Structure 1
């Protein structure tokens, strides 16, 4: 990029480039599976939030369409990194876990000792679970816990959920179809039949490339935090793929992104007047170690009150977070209420109108 291009960069422009990379500006993605593959992985600790995150990126999609993609195994939800649920393409889960699970299991070892979870317990529970879901079946968490208890494996005090997490890390089980508000568990090899095989070096390089293409402009530290890959490994992977990315300098820091996204700088980055109602936990905010470019630090407490790890729904305008929103219980007919950071002046008339269109889109998504 030229010096002139660098001089045009600002936090708002970086935020809008990220919106474009994430399919939130322009035509979006053509299908739910394409969106998940394009995004590489998406935070999914809260199921309704990730459904709407995909609804915002796939024009015309509804909540039932996205739940259907989960039910059919076209996308998969598990714990691939940071000990947190994400959705990703089914063919990617196995090799990603091959990179991340060792470090995650090691980090959980102390807690597992406290809970009395030893290797023999994991192997016994794997045998029990696979017997319960044999032949392509699926079982609820409650059914699995009952089977564990019957075999003398306690499930109270979070021991049960840690056992299930460990079975998913070991690729014995995977969350499968949705039943009500929870997912049933299936055998990994029955539910995921087309896994790719990548070694650690090759996989890390691909993962990093896909992250910068889907989340850029972002930094190597952003990827390291997001993926859980150590910074030294991140830098080695970046060296392998940097020729397929564009580097931007801003504030003395290198940001990496897809050349196609960087090309938007040549003719003006769109989205200056775009208003979006994004879910809590959306990758636009959560997908980066440093969120200060798009969220003023003085308002961070309003997004995660008390630092409790629960991210509220956000209003994004011009590439920056300008408030939160709420949708009280009541389904399709419920009101969608904006809560701008500027409580005195509220949203400007044009932004208020745009937010109203977003609220209508959300109600259609719920009712489709």
Structure 2
């Protein structure tokens, strides 16, 4: 079975600022349009909206990011109207709070409902477990890694036939070193205040400024490196605080207290991540809690850069230890310092060889077109199952 000719997809995602769920929303919308369907996205909006609309998808702006029960009820009513007026074929939710409104609207209109687990949600109580389980109450659950699939099965005792693992894909047209001009890299270097003659080894941590991303582990590791006489490195934290000003201030203070203002820079949000990874020598992903997939461990490999990542979660699948990068115990600053020094001392030639191996592996396992094909196949499966029971 193929997607019907009048297929219309409605994806529901809190916002379109930055992140893996948001990028996947755009990728799948583009794939549906390429297959001849229509793509709608209900969201609060954000900086990625222009890209969504440029691809031919349509935005339905509403406050689906809220956890306010009254507003969620209003969102459900708005989604019912949208589903009916646009003849939506399938609803795909990508976060828990929007999923409540989306599931209610889908059931009201008898529309197939799919949800993607983009993260590993911890439940400390039965109430929280019930809240998380909204993602499992539709026709099919998509997990963005085998790690996530195993977690969902253990947490919710779901029928294994009701969940499919579809690893997140990377846009290999966008993340292709051959397509990044030297001018783009030079512009980023200038914007980040890196002198052209600066030969220090550059590490890049790409991710929003939040504690779980592990910035403080890297500050401590850098302090150890400096105490041992190593100052031939520059660490770049690329990401904004998204309102977490207290954590940003804590981070700035920790860097200053450690005497690392010359070695660590907070460069803010970056719109040109392919150029950012080329500007870097090594990407780092020091998350203190498991990433369900870890997009910023895969994208740099697509750009030919080795990765140092925390040894848990999805990165156990995406980083081949000692082959495309290194896996390090999470939160263990001495181990991180050792790994970073080892990567520096390996030299550009050997790191380049690791980068080429990583690039080949990403192109084999994590292409965005493979992810989109698998997602559309999941939609087809759900539509076929609904047709059989109609």
Q: What range describes the TM-score normalised by the shorter chain of this pair? A: under 0.3
Could you tell me the TM-score, scaled by structure 1's length?
0.25
Could you tell me the TM-score, scaled by structure 2's length?
0.24
Looking at both structures, which has the greater relative contact order when contacts are Cα pairs under 8 Å and sequence separation is at least 6? Answer: 1
